[in-house]
Structure 1
Amino acid sequence: MTAQFSFTATCPKGLENLLADELRTLGAEVEREQPAAVRFNSDLAMAYRICLWSRLANRVLLNLGLARVADAEALYQAVVDIPWEEHISPTGVLWVQFSGTNREIRNSQFGGQKAKDAIVDRLRSATGARPDVDKRDPDLTAMLRLHRDSLEIAIDLCGDSLHRRGYRTHIGAAPLKENLAAALLMRAGWPQIAGQGGALLDPMCGSGTFLVEGALMAADVAPGIMREGFAFERWLNHQNDLWLPLREEALQRRADGLARTLPEIRGYDADAKVLFAAESNIARAGLEKHVRVSCRPVAAFKAPSHREVQPGLVITNPPYGERLGEQEALRETYAELGRQLKREFGGWKAAVFTGNPELCHSMALRSHKQYKLFNGSIPSQLLLFDVHQQSEGEQGGEQHGGKPRAQLSEEAQMVANRLQKNLRTTGKWAQKSGISCYRLYDADLPEYSAAIDIYRSLEGQTYAHIQEYRAPASISEEKARRRLSDLVRATREVLDLPARHVSIKERRRHSHKESGSQYQKRNETNARRESNAEFWVDEYGAQLEINLWDYLDTGLFLDHRPVRQYLRQIANGKKLLNLFCYTATATVQAALGGCPESTSVDLSKTYQAWAQRNFRQNRLDPYRHQLVEADCLQWLQAAQQNRRGHYDVIFLDPPTFSNSAKMQGVLDIQRDHVDLIRQCMALLRPGGTLLFSNNLRSFKMDEKLLDEFAVENLSSRLLDKDFQRNPKIHNVWEIQAK
């Protein structure tokens, strides 16, 4: 009678019952399922077959012993009792993997060291020699798992994890492991569909893992046949006479399978670069004659037009976004996938695997089955659909521009109601005043603490810029994200905006171990932006460049709109100095209002280049309107020598605080404003005007300056309707010599 052994096959969490069924199909006697593993009994030939043919397992372990271990000495004794000389040559290379702790063995590294010592001592005692110990390419890997006082001792028969088939050298940004992809195909019914000649399509195929695994199943190719080898081939008890026939059988089955006509298997992706990876992987798997990929966005995803193509399975693992901004942008992608499925794939099966099942609601399709799984450590779901041909209006959700939207939650509807109210007041005021960029919402509802700004481009496109305010420490991260999500959905609903026209700037808490501010602005750039991130808007006849995605600010401070308009009036026919000019929008307004000559100073190369584009767009003469890249503090000091009494109007709008690496000093506006103002006043001609602005809400003008100069506070006067909810948004002072 053939000797029977005890084995454990490990697998990704959630696949245990599927792996157990696979092992039974291959001929093993399943003993029991346990978390991320299945124990089974079989002879050695069957274990070899499972290593070669399992599409789901990570590893196959030969169980050597089970012992009760209370402390380090008991651990050593349990391991040293195993006849390791029967498994590895004393001149071989050993590696020990140890996991788990108990009350006495509190560190897995310590447990591994103790187990290694026991194995080496056993081999030295039995043979007079000891093996080398090295993680790289060992001849034998001992696997030990300690749970409470129970120690499982095994050896690994595989070497590299079985999910590494050998065909995937190029991977995308977030690849599925091969055995997880195979499991998802099984759950979606692909083996049965392939047997009936049905097609397999992936509209967002990435590096092509679904396609390759699906083709390997359809062609009856053993997933392990492309591997360079298995660890059991260097095991002392390896029986080559059992292994070689199994390998030859697998090679013949692969040749026979690839000689047949396989079902249509195609993949698509909008990223041409990632398709290069897919093509390379397909070629390495020997499937280039059977699997095709092409560059195509989800909006162009259609069923193959060949008559011989049978309806089959659409399966995909779309991105799901780690950040809210990414998630909101992806809603449109999921919605587009749902529309194309209903429009093109009536009678097909569909499967979507995602770490954010909530996004699937945007597909407006009802799943008939859901499986909870893990993609690595990420809780995920596989949702299965039967696709019926139907018009878009048959699904739930209101229509917006011919596209269905999911119903808003009660909370999001409350926000939508406030936005609609603001549109009837602030929106109408802006339209009547000829204002194309304005603040629609500013934490009107305390629970939804954010600002929403509207930008309308010269082409008539509407964009929303959402800036989250810092949530109180009493509000959980989950609740803050949910509220911001409600706000984003309400904004898109009320303004009827596609996701790519909504920019979201989030403040998120970080660990004290992370660098930077405790609350950092996160810029979700690539998920929403169109091919160009920039667009142009009109402000009182000035054309100004806006970028809602790439930077913290957008290029235009909306609260300064009346400040720029006032500067335009007082600089008519006057020579202007604009310090801390940012993108120089104030200079553009002044120049269009009749300012014949100006100097605009800022330290940032990015802002200087931006200002230059604003100047060119508005046809400002670069010889009369100069841009200077310099530290304003240093520039001011140097100007005291040769520019005294040089300007008619100075606009001074410094940041509240700055410690740029390019600056020699640190700017603190409350501390430094006296010196700044005095230096600016020295550069004014007689009768000249300094317009001083800052955004420090607690700012107080030093009384010495009130005695020294004629100072008038214009803050409330230079505040438009859309910012009157928050009168402390900025301070503006007009200063002249007495």
Structure 2
Amino acid sequence: MVSYEFFAACPKGLESLLLEELTGLGASPVRETVAGVYFTGGLELGYRACLWSRLANKILLPLANFDLQDAEDLYEGVSAIAWHEHLSPSSSFVVDFVGTNAAVRNSQFGALKTKDAIVDVIRNATGERPSVARDNPDLRINVRLSRGKAAVSLDLSGDSLHRRGYRQKQGAAPLKENLAAALLLRADWPAIAARGGALLDPMCGSGTLLVEAAMMAADIAPGLLRARFGFERWLQHRNDVWLTIREEAIERKRAGLARTLPEIRGYDADIHVIRSAEANVLAAKLDHWVRLSRKELKDFTLPTHKQLEAGLVITNPPYGERLGDADALRYLYAYLGDRMRSAFPGWSLAVFTGNPDLCHEMKLKAHKKYKFFNGKLPSELLLFDIREQQAQPERKPDAPIELRPVVLSAGAEMFANRLKKNQKQLAKWIKRENIHCYRLYDADMPEYAVAVDVYEGYAHVQEYQPPAKVDETAARRRMEEVRDALPGVLGISQDHISYKTRRRTAGKQQYEKQQVRAVHPLVPVREGQVRLLVDLWQYLDAGLFLDHRPLRLRIANESRGKRFLNLFCYTATASVHAAVGGARFTHSVDMSRTYLDWARKNFAENGLGEQQNRLEQADCLQWLATAKGEYDIIMLDPPSFSNSKRMEGVLDIQRDQVQLIDDAMRLLAPKGVLYFSNNLRSFTLAPEIETRYRVEDITRETLDPDFSRNSKIHHCWSIRHS
């Protein structure tokens, strides 16, 4: 039997895996090099490598290797090959030329010179010349120029072997098929599948990992779906050998699919991506074995239709290079870590990312890390064994520390007593309703004109700007008394209490930072079924208007299957409630990029992506004037005053309410509801609104006990079509 030396080309990082694969196919000897493996065997082995290699890009058959100092060296070296033994005059070919040097300054020149030599050899031998075809040539010639040497090979593969033939559609950042196979091999999927373990991908994209995993589990040759290989029109092709190898692969596939395969499931938040994955799975003829459904990360849990053996969760989440925002993705990775600990004990986790630092947010310790290239981007595969992880409780704010006793002045004692009285009054409600963030005090005593909000082990204190007639020295003394009293009453250390002075702001001032901390300022807190991020330090408002808690919870209860629009959305907390409550989709509009970035983090904190939760930066007044669409629930909570080009530069809610509500109602579904709210104390609803629509004042229903002392903090109506 004639023995050949082949070269299997692969992406960098896959060489050692490819060497193991070729050895398993019967290659010997084998030699690893950069981006490929040399191996030796008969022609049958070359065919088998083309059909069965899950990792190679190309299987090349070297024909010549020579020094190349000038262009004539290239022509003469190629001319020394007996091309008429490989290619008939009636055939077509193309030259793939890679590399340059001083003599060959560009690959096009190198390919042209190679083509000329091949044509001349065949014409001299037969009197006829073959043609060049860029598309679907009969034979591909591969020339690689490196360090002054040219290597000329026949490309037995034809098109790159990573193109299996099943990819009909793809997402925004797809994995190449051979890279996906390498990730599965490094994650030990063949062994997990052999013992019946399942495979789940919570962010499956176009489904490449799922299809490759199913082909491995069912013993399906990755090349079976390809239309043709490069060797099939080679003059020395042995079709009898090839047909035997292919029939053997078909029989192995039949036997593999007859077995009970492990559960393989993929999920993604984007229904369009799921449709692409379904098309690819169908093209791979694996639709009976690979299950797909649209699901947010928040809903990722063990399937309940049957008892599953502990298996592998493998995923390629967004990492901020081409998809998503890396800052917001910190919270998405943290959510994935929490979900794995709570729902998948005993499982293995494999995360492939171009930003390994994001994996620190999962609070899991990787037991192995492998470096790869995703295209040209350096990336890592991190492997975690959830069985070995220390069970971690849900992330919570730091516990209170032991406080140093402080002797309070008479004024501070009086303030402390009022706080304690309020605590006692609210205690039963807080426990009954499972409240975690609430207003404890709101200028109950005129001398102490502050608002005190409690956020799960933190406090946010806002001093109302005193009138000019108030003595500044007295005002400062009272604030010191507030500072002295708060830690002891709340059981919170002073460095967990934020102090600000509330002044009326306009324009960009409301977005400007108040103070900056060295550590990341966002604190996760709970409200109903969601977690929201508050910033107690940098901005005047914390990112969560506590007085709207009842309205947010109402929206959460009403949102299942509904289309939700949030205008002047701020940090989109109501949209997060709607999404977690089962909204079909949410659409949040605000003119501040700062707040929309914050909103993006709020969604990620709850395992939600932007595929079904759209965030749009726009002036709401201008947006409403031209917007199209239909929504079942709309929340309209504009500021009292705001700069706007549309309303002569200023939004005045008392003046502009009719136009604003009319524009919003134009987008409301016939049986929908608009929740209109504002915090202008002197506001009155225009009579024409009550004439045109069914209006109900629900202000009382949207104020919880912690705001009963200040019933004018906001006005709220439900508005429906007549």
TM (norm. structure 1) is 0.62
Preserved CA contact (<8 Å) 2:296 2:609: no
Match of 1:586 among 635, 650, 659: 650
Deviations along 1:252-310, whole A, 9 cap, x unmatched? 11111111110111111122221112222212212122111122111111123355421
Q: What does 1:336-415 align with in structure 2 at a 5 Å threshold?
A: 336-388=335-387, 391-393=391-393
Q: What does 1:366-515 align with in structure 2 at a 5 Å threshold?
A: 366-388=365-387, 391-393=391-393, 431=502, 438-441=510-513, 454=541, 459=548, 463=570, 499-500=601-602
1:280 matches 2:369: no
Aligned to 1:128: 127
Preserved CA contact (<8 Å) 1:393 1:399: no
Preserved CA contact (<8 Å) 2:334 2:361: yes
Aligned to 1:253: 252
Preserved CA contact (<8 Å) 2:5 2:41: yes
Deviations along 1:15-41, whole A, 9 cap, x unmatched? 001001100010012442222111111
Structure 1 residues 283 and 77, CA gap change in structure 2 (3 angstroms): same
Aligned to 1:627: none
Aligned to 1:235: 234
Aligned to 2:578: none
Deviation at 1:420, TM superposition (A): 10
Structure 1 residues 588 and 343, CA gap change in structure 2 (3 angstroms): same
Structure 1, 127-136 or 392-401: larger mean CA deviation: 392-401
Aligned to 1:734: none
Deviation at 1:502, TM superposition (A): 10
Deviation at 1:343, TM superposition (A): 0.7
Once superposed, what is the RMSD of the aligned Cα atoms? Answer: 4.7
Deviation at 1:453, TM superposition (A): 7.5
Residue type of the alignment partner of 1:343: S
Deviation at 1:129, TM superposition (A): 1.1
Preserved CA contact (<8 Å) 1:98 1:109: yes
Aligned to 2:492: none
Residue type of the alignment partner of 2:351: V
Preserved CA contact (<8 Å) 1:372 1:382: yes
Residue type of the alignment partner of 2:192: I
- Rounded to whole Å, the distance in 2 between the matches of 1:112 and 1:85 is 19
Secondary structure at 1:111 match in 2: helix
Deviation at 1:176, TM superposition (A): 0.8
Aligned to 2:631: none
Preserved CA contact (<8 Å) 1:326 1:528: no
Residue type of the alignment partner of 1:230: F
Secondary structure at 1:109 match in 2: helix
1:37 matches 2:36: yes
Residue type of the alignment partner of 2:282: A
- Rounded to whole Å, the distance in 1 between the matches of 2:192 and 2:290 is 16
Q: What does 1:3-42 align with in structure 2 at a 5 Å threshold?
A: 3-42=2-41
Residue type of the alignment partner of 1:392: Q
- Rounded to whole Å, the distance in 1 between the matches of 2:311 and 2:131 is 53
Bigger relative CO (Cα 8 Å, ≥ 6 apart): 2
Q: What does 1:633-648 align with in structure 2 at a 5 Å threshold?
A: none
Secondary structure at 1:370 match in 2: strand
Give the percent of matched residue pairs that are identical in Structure 1 and Structure 2.
45
Structure 1, 178-187 or 287-296: larger mean CA deviation: 287-296
Preserved CA contact (<8 Å) 1:368 1:384: yes
Secondary structure at 2:110 match in 1: helix
- Rounded to whole Å, the distance in 1 between the matches of 2:29 and 2:461 is 65
Secondary structure at 2:97 match in 1: strand
Deviations along 1:139-171, whole A, 9 cap, x unmatched? 111100001211110011111111111111121
Structure 1 residues 380 and 439, CA gap change in structure 2 (3 angstroms): same
Structure 1 residues 131 and 440, CA gap change in structure 2 (3 angstroms): same
Secondary structure at 1:459 match in 2: helix
Preserved CA contact (<8 Å) 1:328 1:488: no
- Rounded to whole Å, the distance in 2 between the matches of 1:228 and 1:267 is 27
Structure 1 residues 324 and 4, CA gap change in structure 2 (3 angstroms): closer
Preserved CA contact (<8 Å) 2:464 2:503: no
Secondary structure at 1:114 match in 2: helix
Aligned to 1:674: none
Residue type of the alignment partner of 1:125: N
Deviation at 1:322, TM superposition (A): 2.3
Deviation at 1:249, TM superposition (A): 0.5
Secondary structure at 2:317 match in 1: coil
Deviations along 1:356-413, whole A, 9 cap, x unmatched? 111111111111100010111111100000003764338899599999xxxxxxxxxx
Q: How many residues align?
A: 518
Deviations along 1:326-347, whole A, 9 cap, x unmatched? 1122222212211111111111
- Rounded to whole Å, the distance in 1 between the matches of 2:308 and 2:289 is 13
Preserved CA contact (<8 Å) 2:87 2:235: yes
Secondary structure at 2:61 match in 1: strand
Structure 1 residues 500 and 325, CA gap change in structure 2 (3 angstroms): farther
Residue type of the alignment partner of 2:548: E
Preserved CA contact (<8 Å) 2:169 2:279: yes
1:290 matches 2:289: yes
Secondary structure at 2:286 match in 1: coil
Preserved CA contact (<8 Å) 1:101 1:148: no
Preserved CA contact (<8 Å) 2:12 2:372: yes
Deviations along 1:403-451, whole A, 9 cap, x unmatched? 9xxxxxxxxxxxxxxx9999889985554769998234179799x9xx9
- Rounded to whole Å, the distance in 2 between the matches of 1:59 and 1:51 is 8
Aligned to 2:215: 216
Preserved CA contact (<8 Å) 2:68 2:149: yes
- Rounded to whole Å, the distance in 2 between the matches of 1:137 and 1:397 is 62
Residue type of the alignment partner of 2:94: W
Preserved CA contact (<8 Å) 2:86 2:234: yes
Deviation at 1:527, TM superposition (A): 4.6
- Rounded to whole Å, the distance in 2 between the matches of 1:399 and 1:203 is 33
Structure 1 residues 118 and 399, CA gap change in structure 2 (3 angstroms): farther
Residue type of the alignment partner of 1:499: K
- Rounded to whole Å, the distance in 1 between the matches of 2:638 and 2:501 is 16
- Rounded to whole Å, the distance in 1 between the matches of 2:232 and 2:155 is 11
- Rounded to whole Å, the distance in 2 between the matches of 1:589 and 1:213 is 57
Preserved CA contact (<8 Å) 2:269 2:297: yes
Note the residue ranges of structure 2 that are not aligned, 5 or more in a row.
401-433, 437-457, 466-497, 521-537, 553-568, 573-592, 626-635, 668-673, 690-722
Deviation at 1:532, TM superposition (A): 6.2
- Rounded to whole Å, the distance in 1 between the matches of 2:46 and 2:178 is 18
Secondary structure at 1:102 match in 2: coil
Preserved CA contact (<8 Å) 1:314 1:349: yes
- Rounded to whole Å, the distance in 1 between the matches of 2:647 and 2:330 is 33
Aligned to 1:174: 173
Residue type of the alignment partner of 2:70: D
- Rounded to whole Å, the distance in 1 between the matches of 2:197 and 2:152 is 45
- Rounded to whole Å, the distance in 2 between the matches of 1:502 and 1:169 is 30
Note the residue ranges of structure 1 that are not aligned, 5 or more in a row.
404-418, 466-486, 504-524, 547-554, 566-577, 599-604, 624-738
TM (norm. structure 2) is 0.63
Structure 1 residues 268 and 394, CA gap change in structure 2 (3 angstroms): closer
Preserved CA contact (<8 Å) 1:204 1:269: yes
Preserved CA contact (<8 Å) 2:75 2:117: yes
